[in-house]
């Protein structure tokens, strides 16, 4: 079977294993190693709809295919948005794409954040580094229906001020009276006037009611583990704490077993899970 963009355009949409062709509309550098792409479908006016927390398999032609979460606004059907850190072969090749270049997209896949299920509750969003990317669609959706939620808090931690993503969004969000945004960095020099320390240090003083809060966490696995512990210490039930997991993926449809984590397939059962479903496995090394 041919996997050129032209051949795929003819067979697009026939199977979840068959990428559809999108074209790069825009690329924005977020930090030194992280960039956001806006993609448009090669032949449809709108992109596929998605739920916050879902991911796509992005195929850089001739290089490879990788899972990347959707980081755009679920209410905007015109562009498919992904934010990627260039760490290896495929992500670096993606960084070199130019406006108009083709990229294969399969998806969206997986279970997303419980955004609608959290209506009526306080919502605490805790992001570490690039973990803000999969959480941004959830925050967009919550803010679009702000009256349906209690207090909404975003706690965001990065290694340094230079690693902070979505600066324009953060500036806008900071001006809202109905959203508490607290940013911290692990280490800072020079002009940084904000918080210094890991993101877990923000939890004890964040303004939310633990008896009524749902927490959405995304970041490195160790950060998610310590964040969940802090939230539990404050009184948040572990069934109301959600994390988004990453594992190597191939099929993204529950067939190949590459993403198995304990009894779960991250691609199909996740990537978002209630913490109490994973806790036992997160405490075992090398699962």
Ligand X SMILES: Cc1cc2nc3c(=O)[nH]c(=O)nc-3n(C[C@H](O)[C@H](O)[C@H](O)COP(=O)(O)OP(=O)(O)OC[C@H]3O[C@@H](n4cnc5c(N)ncnc54)[C@H](O)[C@@H]3O)c2cc1C
Q: Which residues pair with 158 in a beta bridge?
A: 185
Query: Which lies closer to ligand FES via its Cβ, residue 163 or residue 246?
Result: 246
* Contact status: 66 vs ligand X (CB under 6 A): yes
From the list ligand X, ligand FES, none, which binds 134 (C-beta under 5 to 8 Å, kind-based)? ligand X
User: Which segments of the chain are extended strands (E)?
Assistant: 20-29, 34-41, 55-60, 64-69, 80-85, 102-109, 122-128, 152-158, 180-185, 195-196, 213-218, 241-244, 260-261, 264-265, 272-274
- Can residue 250 be called a binding residue for ligand FES (CB under 6 A)? yes
Contacted entry of ligand FES, ligand X, none for residue 251, CB cut-off 5 to 8 Å set by kind: ligand FES
Q: Does 57 contact ligand FES by CB under 6 A?
A: no
Where are the alpha helices (H) located in 123-269, listed in sequence order? 132-144, 167-174, 221-234, 266-269
Does position 87 interact with ligand X (CB under 6 A)? The reply is yes
**Residue whose CB is less far from ligand FES, 97 or 278:** 278
Task: Name the residue among 174, 111, 112, 116 with its Cα closest to residue 145.
Answer: 116
Q: How far apart are CA 130 and CA 145, in angstroms?
A: 25
Asked if 56 is part of the footprint of ligand X (rule: CB under 6 A), the reply reads no
Interhelix angle 221-234/275-282, rounded to 10 degrees, is 120
218 binds ligand FES (CB under 6 A): no
What residues between 210 and 249 interact with ligand X by CB under 6 A?
A: 246-247, 249
Binding pattern for the stretch 95-134 against ligand X, x by CB under 6 A and - elsewhere: -----------------------------------x--xx
Residue 232 binds what, of ligand FES, ligand X, none (CB under 5 to 8 Å, by partner type)? none
Q: Residue 187 CB: number of other CB atoms within 10 A?
A: 10
Interacting residues with ligand FES between 255 and 274 (CB under 6 A): 255-259, 265, 267
Report the candidate in 203, 144, 204, 210 with the shortest Cα–Cα distance to residue 179.
144
Q: Could you tell me the smallest distance in angstroms from the CB atom of residue 249 to ligand FES?
A: 4
Q: Do residues 6 and 136 make contact, with C-beta atoms less than 8 angstroms apart?
A: no
- Binding-site member from 30, 41, 53, 91 for ligand X (CB under 6 A): 91
66 binds ligand FES (CB under 6 A): no
For every residue of 258-272, DSSP letters joined together read: TTEETTEEHHHH-BE
Measured from the CB atom, the residue of 47 and 90 that comes closer to ligand X is 90
| Binding of residue 257 to ligand X (CB under 6 A) | no
CB of 81 to ligand FES, least distance (A): 23
89 binds ligand X (CB under 6 A): yes
Q: Are 4 and 61 in contact (CB under 8 A)?
A: yes
**Max CA-CA distance within the chain?**
56
CA nearest neighbour of 139 among 170, 175, 185, 109: 170
Spatial separation of the C-alpha atoms in residues 83 and 35, rounded to whole Å: 6
Interacting span for ligand FES (CB under 6 A) from 36-44, 91-99, 213-221, 244-252: 244-252
In three-state secondary structure terms, 75 is: coil
Q: Which residues contact ligand FES by CB under 6 A?
A: 249-252, 254-259, 265, 267
Q: Which residues contact ligand X by CB under 6 A?
A: 55, 64, 66-69, 83-85, 87-91, 130, 133-134, 246-247, 249, 271
């Amino acid at each position: 079977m041919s996997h050129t963009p032209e051949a795929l355009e003819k067979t697009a949409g026939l199977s979840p294993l068959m990428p559809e062709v999108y074209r790069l509309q825009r690329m924005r550098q977020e930090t030194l190693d992280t960039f956001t792409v806006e993609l448009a479908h090669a032949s449809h006016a709108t992109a596929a709809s998605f739920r916050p927390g879902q991911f796509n398999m992005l195929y850089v032609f001739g290089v490879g295919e990788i899972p990347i979460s959707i980081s755009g606004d679920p209410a905007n059907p015109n562009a498919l948005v992904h934010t990627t850190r260039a760490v290896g072969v495929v992500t670096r090749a993606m960084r070199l794409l130019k406006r108009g270049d083709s990229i294969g997209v399969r998806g969206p896949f997986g279970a997303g954040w419980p955004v609608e299920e959290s209506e009526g509750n306080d919502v605490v969003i805790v992001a570490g580094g690039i973990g803000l990317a999969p959480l941004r669609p959830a925050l967009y959706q919550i803010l679009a229906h702000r009256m349906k939620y209690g207090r909404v808090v975003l706690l965001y931690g990065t290694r340094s001020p230079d690693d902070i993503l979505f600066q324009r969004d953060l500036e806008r969000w900071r001006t809202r009276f109905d959203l508490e945004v607290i940013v911290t960095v692990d280490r800072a020099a020079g002009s940084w006037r904000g918080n210094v320390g890991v993101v877990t240090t923000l939890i004890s003083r964040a303004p939310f009611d633990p008896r009524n809060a749902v927490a959405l966490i995304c970041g490195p696995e160790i950060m998610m583990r310590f964040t969940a512990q802090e939230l539990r210490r404050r009184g948040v039930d572990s069934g109301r704490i959600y994390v988004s997991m990453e594992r190597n993926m191939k099929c993204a449809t529950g067939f190949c077993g590459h993403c198995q984590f304990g009894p779960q397939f991250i691609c199909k059962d996740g990537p978002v899970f209630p913490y109490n479903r994973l806790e036992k496995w997160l405490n075992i090394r090398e699962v």
